[in-house]
Amino acid sequence: MCLSLLFIASKAFVTLPFGNSQKKFFDGGKVGIISSKLKASNLLYGGDFAGLSADFSPDGNLIRVPDHLVPKEMLEWEDSPACLEVLVSEEGEESSTSWLRQTISVLPAVGCGVDNLETNKKEEVMEVQSLSSTDDIVSFDVEYKGDDKKGRRTETIFAVEINEKHRLRVILDILWDSETGFAFKKPINLIMERKVNITSSGGTIADGGGLTGSQVTELLGPQLKVSSPFCEESPLDWKPQGVKILNLPGNVTIACSEDPMQSPWMLDIVHVNINEKGEAEQQVVRRSYYAEDIAKDIE
């Protein structure tokens, strides 16, 4: 599988979701980035982050936190939460081909459990491919094998202004099959995060227990609240012709070629950022995938 640089519309991709007026900032590598002008390179990767993580099905429906992770007392009087609080430690930079990321998921709690939170910890060593960046976007792929199919995990990190700068990560698994073509594998993961430390702590914040709800709330900051999460906001209503569109909360749109057997198969990850002046700024990453290259990888 490979990616190629593409900035203009084609028969395969009739038009960009938001037209062809975006300015071209990046001009090299294998991922096309069409970007706005936020200056946030120090925000986007490396260090410690606190945020909210939500999953969505390939058709855009929110996947709530599984009941088995939620206290029975909470489920008796409300639905399971829409998302999980996460604490992320990350080591990686543009020149690195391998990134290390530790993710601590904070499980929902009630009563005394808030004073000693339970957590799940996951550590990932990511072999980063096709990394591209501007001041406000970082984009890369991670190759993997699973379900007897060949695919890629694409990750796109956008700078977002919410009074203070945050980052929004869009993580999408793409599978290719010789009979059915390209497809999204669920879940699609959106994570809105605030940077809390420029240096990674190695995921040690919850070591030894004793992590409290007040600590997590302080790390999240005033703009990220699990009681009114971004993932339950109404998505944008963009419906361009000639492409398959998935509108998600957080002003995120995923657009791809309508024909899953098409090669190259086009994929746009789009974020519309509303700046402090109330102006909309479009941030777009475009990828193209070639089926013949994937077939060679499978052999």
Residue 71 within a domain: yes
Asked if residue 272 is part of any domain, the answer here is: no
* % of the chain surpassing 70 pLDDT: 79
Phi-psi region of 79 (alpha: psi -120 to 50; beta: other; left: phi over 0): beta
Q: Is residue 251 part of a domain?
A: no
| Predicted pLDDT at 293 | 63
- How many structural domains are present in the chain? 1
Q: Give a yes or no: residue 292 inside a domain.
A: no
Q: What is the pLDDT of residues 8-45, one digit of tens each?
A: 222 222 234 434 333 322 222 234 444 444 444 567 88
User: Is the pLDDT reported for residue 285 higher than 60?
Assistant: yes
Q: What is the pLDDT of residue 92?
A: 84
Per-residue pLDDT, 103 = 95
Mean pLDDT of 231-247: 85
Looking at per-residue pLDDT, the higher value among 239 and 276 belongs to: 239
Asked whether residue 110 is domain-assigned, the answer is yes
Per-residue pLDDT tens for 127-177?
888 888 887 888 888 876 555 556 678 999 998 877 678 999 999 988 888
- Residues 81-124 have pLDDT tens digits of 999 999 999 998 777 788 999 999 999 998 888 888 999 999 99
Segment 252-272 shows an average pLDDT of: 90
Round to whole Å and give the CA distance between 158 and 283: 8
The pLDDT value given to residue 150:
62
**Residues 89, 201 contacting (CB under 8 angstroms):** yes
Q: What are phi and psi of 11, to 5 degrees?
A: -60, -30
Q: Is residue 215 part of a domain?
A: yes
Q: Which amino acid is at 105?
A: S
Q: How confident is the model at residue 249 (pLDDT cuts 50, 70, 90)?
A: very high
The model's pTM is 0.84
pLDDT at 148: 53
Q: Is residue 248 one of the residues assigned to a domain?
A: no
> Where in the sequence is the domain holding 92, given as residue range(s)?
38-232
Tell me what the mean pLDDT of segment 258-276 comes to.
Answer: 85
Question: pLDDT tens across 179-226, in order?
Answer: 888 888 889 999 999 999 999 999 888 777 779 999 999 999 998 987
Enter the tokens of residue 217: 């709330």
Placement of tokens 């999408």 in the chain:
172
CB 50 within 8 A of CB 226: no
The whole-angstrom separation of Cα 206 and Cα 210 is: 7
In a domain, residue 253? The reply is no
Report the pLDDT value the prediction gives residue 95, as an integer from 0 to 100. 78
